[in-house]
Amino acid sequence: MTKTDLKKILSISGESGLFEFVSQGRNCLIAESLVTKQRKPFGSSARVSSLADISIYTTEKEVSLKEALTNMATILKNGPAMSSKEDPKKIKAFFEQAIPNYDEDRFYVSHMKKVLDWYNVLQQYASLEFVEEEETEEKAQ
């Protein structure tokens, strides 16, 4: 299975699930749903975030989403994570294992639920092995 490039995996506000960047169109970007494989154009007003740009606040520093997902995969032995509909106490307990020093004032249960959903989509439809920075630079040359 190929490694997942988090720079190409997108979260789009107002859309459920994750998308993979396909190409840039005129005044839009085209992305494909990881789950349904349907391609859709998103205009310049769409709020698009690359998973590579997302961090989680801890009491010391920010932890990249990639590092958090890798920690989760290690704890779960690459298996599926609990549902985001699980009891918030269980969700918090899991994140205390995955990111022991997360900042409770800035990393809320709603964020944790989103990370669980993203993890499960990646685990099921992509790969929990991620492309390293050097690998993407090598491909560009």
Domain that holds residue 106: 55-125
Average pLDDT, the chain: 93
- Does the residue 30 lie in any domain? no
User: Is residue 15, in this structure, part of any structural domain at all?
Assistant: no
Whether residue 96 is contained in a domain is answered as yes
94 within a domain of the structure (yes/no) = yes
pLDDT computed for residue 1 by the predictor? 63
**Does a structural domain hold residue 44?**
no
What confidence tens digit (pLDDT) does each residue in 62-104 have? 999 999 999 999 999 999 999 999 999 999 999 999 999 999 9
Q: pTM of the predicted model, to two decimals?
A: 0.91
The reply to whether 2 falls in a domain is: no
Domain holding 113: CATH number?
1.10.10.1650
Query: For residues 56 and 101, is the Cβ–Cβ distance under 8 A?
Result: no
Q: Is the pLDDT of residue 116 over 80?
A: yes
- Counting beta carbons within 10 angstroms of the beta carbon of residue 31, is it exposed (0 to 12), middle (13 to 18) or buried (19 or more)? buried
Count of domains forming the chain: 1
